[in-house]
Structure 1
């Protein structure tokens, strides 16, 4: 049976909070410390960053929405145990949570790769 336990909840919430904040922190450090604004206009990496950040936040919001539905259904088990048990125990809702989790981690990996590419290109241009 697929259920979210108390040990798994920090992992799921980390995706919603830590992933976007980590991306913004890495982006901010590399932009300010290494002055990537010179590379951004040349290699057009800014549109890719914008697309990634546009994709990241709806994924996190969708995760929170699905998690809220899941938790609401889990709380109502005591009232309507037979009907809700069939819905909550289905693996599709639980798999949707994993899809949102790994999609957001995948997007963060791409965003970090873009920051590294910008750093390498900036070093190459300066020398």
Structure 2
């Protein structure tokens, strides 16, 4: 199964860290937590929440909010990668975060958007300078 048990790395944004700290304060701070405890435990408290639980929660939320039926956990992954590309992140870094073995997979996965194209200067401007 391709990609099975592939380690993936990502960044932890300041916003996500804030939300995680609030979650911890609300649900875990009064409990006696140990370093080996999971932040998001599964039904078995010695294991982390299962990936299918996250996917199913997203599907339930999508349906309750009557969002497009094509929205899935994979959509979030795609949006993260697309926004990273638009923000000028090197595709090689995005490849590493997505766990792709080949850069071409990442480049096919990420579509070019008008926002990312807006920052491209014409070779005419870069060679001769802008007339503005």
- For normalisation by structure 2, the TM-score amounts to 0.21
